[in-house]
Amino acid sequence: MITAIVIYKLPSTIDRADCQRHFEKITKNFKDVPGLIRKQFIWNESGDAGGVYLWENLAAARAFYSGPWLNGIIERYNAYPKITYFDTMAMTDNTTNEIKIFDEQKNK
């Protein structure tokens, strides 16, 4: 599993309410993305926005971020996103009361 944290700077003309409306409008676009398990849409008061994504694997994440998604970010915000990838080693999910351990090395 891969966690990707994506951050981009919003133009000063886009405030929290604008960002919220946009995120609400596009959430459905992420329902059938190959390899995507979960996306959290994020914003902060410094004008940064983006997402925290959980992916099945790095190949799926890289394929998504190199396609039309990247062009949309650049066109909308005139900025390139910063994307950081992490191996997801474990997860506590309080909504399902589950603890999951992901050890990719054991599966090779």
* In the chain, domain spans: 2-107
Dump pLDDT digits (tens) for 85-101: 999 999 999 999 999 99
Entry pTM: 0.89
Average pLDDT over residues 50-54: 98
Q: Tell me the pLDDT of the chain averaged across its residues.
A: 93
Tell me the CATH number for domain 2-107: 3.30.70.100
- Looking at residue 107, its pLDDT comes to 44
pLDDT over 60 at 106, yes or no: no
- Using the predicted structure, report yes or no on whether residue 44 has a pLDDT greater than 50: yes
CB atoms within 10 A of CB 71: 10
| pLDDT over 70 (residue 69) | yes
* Tokens encoding 72: 């949309």
HSE value, Cβ hemisphere, 13 Å, CA-based, for 36: 20
Per-residue DSSP letter, 28: G
- CA–chain centroid gap for 99, Å, is 21
Mean pLDDT of 53-76: 94
